[in-house]
Amino acid sequence: MKSLKLRWLLIGNLISSTGMSFIWPLTTVYMHDYLGKSLALAGIVLFVESLIMIGGSYIGGYIYDHGNGRFWMLCSIMVSIIALLLLVFFNKWPAYPILLIINGFTGAIANTIINALAASIKNHEASYVFNMMYFMANIGVVLGTLIVGFIVKINIRYIFVVTFLLYVIFFIIALTKYVFENIQIEKNTNHLKKELLQKTSTNSILIIGGILLTYLMIQVGYAQWQSNLSVYMQSLGIGLNKYSYLWTINGVIVVIGQPIISFLDKRYGINDFKKVYVGYVMFVIAFASLIFAKDYMHFMMSMIIVTFGEVIAFPVIPAIVANLSSNSERGKYQGFVSIAASTGHAVGPLLGGVVVEMFSYEVLFEVIVLLVLLFTIISLIITYFNLKK
């Protein structure tokens, strides 16, 4: 029987990530500038898509555990292909948001099944597999955002054509190379054993809560880069292609910076809590700089600071949560990490659109700075006193 090869998972992840990075940075500006809709309405669409994707992720995990994972993975990718093909011809209102949400839902199902499939690879450590998956996803972001800047200059609708073609290639790879092994699930009949397992301590729960609430606020701010900032830069006379290049810079720094941070960590053994709070402070500085950003160079500097904050803090957060949570609840608290990120992405564009329409972009950035700074200080205090205990 054929076994699943890591290289095909990585190639598939690269292609799907490249395709999706054509669409997600342009959603808000496409709805605002091309379809003539408000930022608040664009935020609502992104909010609904994020909620639907949370549901899709749950369904994907359930399917992998209980159903025919390969069949539903291929069905999900095929539905995404159909939605992307329809977007080539039907990209007005309301077809655009409907097809976008359908693609987000089926994409979340497929991605969850593929991530679960990645954990089944036996000839590599799981940490290595997922690090490589994350690495290839960021390579895809670099390629996608770099190419999209050129495509936009020709015709923005060609983005849907290219994404459709990439997903066709992705489907072919999944169909021919993604091998699902039949795994016999062993059920534990000792129900008392689970009850006797140690629970996560109250001190650890408080530390995790503080870190994840700050992480949530940061994701609300980070979501502005992926939504409302594109429109703001356009209003300042900065072209859409230049906005897309900022995400190329983001991807390059993540790809280069991640191995450097890992090397320094191994060499000097930097404390995880120090890293996460240094990253949080960098986010505060980056968001504060947006209050005064009026030209492309300032936006570029802000993106660079944001990305270094991401590289330093984001990989450490699940590691801290894993170390603080008990073995019996490790999955539960890792789920909270995903929920914090997803909630930030869901609320961020909608909140940003409403604040901008009621006040201004400057007020939006000030609100985000205050939220992130406040929760960083609260989290730091909680962590300090509970670690001592």
- Residues 6 or more apart from 34 whose CB is under 8 A from it? 156
Q: Give the pLDDT band (50/70/90) at residue 331.
A: very low
Would you say residue 384 has pLDDT above 80?
yes
In order of 93, 102, 229, 277, 349, the CA distances from 41 in angstroms are: 12, 18, 15, 34, 10
Across the range 324-336, mean pLDDT stands at 64
Per-residue model confidence as pLDDT tens digits over 225-266:
877 888 898 889 888 788 878 887 887 888 888 778 777 776
Q: Which residue carries 């089926």 as its tokens?
A: 106
* Distant-in-sequence, close-in-space partners of 12: CB < 8 Å, separation ≥ 6: 114, 170, 173, 174, 177, 178
Tell me whether residue 377 is exposed, middle or buried, using C-beta atoms within 10 angstroms of its C-beta: 0 to 12, 13 to 18, 19 or more: middle
| Separation of alpha carbons 62 and 76, rounded Å | 14
pLDDT digits (tens, 9 = 90+) for 35-73: 888 877 887 887 888 888 878 877 877 787 677 788 999
> What integer pLDDT is reported at residue 192 of this predicted model?
42
Q: Is residue 295 helix, strand or coil?
A: coil
Query: Mean pLDDT across the stretch 158-185?
Result: 83
Give CATH 1.20.1250.20 domain extents, the chain.
1-181, 200-389
CA distance linking residue 218 with residue 99, whole number of Å: 29
Helix axis angle, 95-118 to 126-154, nearest 10°: 150
Q: How far is CA 83 from CA 79, 87, 167, 217, 328, in A?
A: 6, 6, 11, 32, 40
pLDDT at 328 over 60: no
Question: What's the mean pLDDT in 342-347?
Answer: 82
For 1-15, 272-286, 300-314, which range has the lowest pLDDT when averaged over its residues? 1-15
pTM of the model: 0.70
Alpha-carbon span 301 to 249, nearest angstrom: 10
Contact 104, 53 (CB under 8 A): yes
- Write the CB contacts of 321 (distance below 8 Å, at least 6 apart in sequence): 208, 211, 212, 333, 334, 336, 337
Q: What pLDDT is recorded for position 119?
A: 64
For residues 353 and 228, give the distance between their C-alpha atoms in angstroms, rounded to a whole number: 7
Q: Are 365 and 288 in contact (CB under 8 A)?
A: yes
Exposed, middle or buried, 318 (CB in 10 Å: 0-12/13-18/19+)? middle
Which option is the CATH number for 200-389: 1.20.1250.20, 1.10.510.10, 3.30.365.10, 2.130.10.10? 1.20.1250.20
pLDDT in tens, 114-156: 877 776 677 776 556 666 777 788 788 778 877 877 887 788 7
pLDDT digits (tens, 9 = 90+) for 178-220: 887 654 344 344 444 444 457 778 888 999 999 999 999 999 9
Quote the pLDDT of residue 242: 86
Q: Give the mean pLDDT of 71-88.
A: 93
Cis peptide before 94 (omega within 30 of 0): yes
Question: Amino acid letter at 246?
Answer: L
Q: What are the tens digits of pLDDT across the range 85-124?
A: 999 898 888 899 999 999 989 988 888 788 777 766 777 7
CA angle 28, 34, 37 (to 5 degrees): 60
For domain 1-181, which CATH number applies: 3.30.70.1230, 1.20.1250.20, 1.20.1630.10, 1.10.10.10? 1.20.1250.20
262-295 pLDDT per residue, tens: 777 767 777 889 889 999 999 999 999 999 989 9
Task: Collect all residues with Cβ–Cβ distance below 8 Å to 236 and sequence separation of at least 6.
Answer: 294, 295
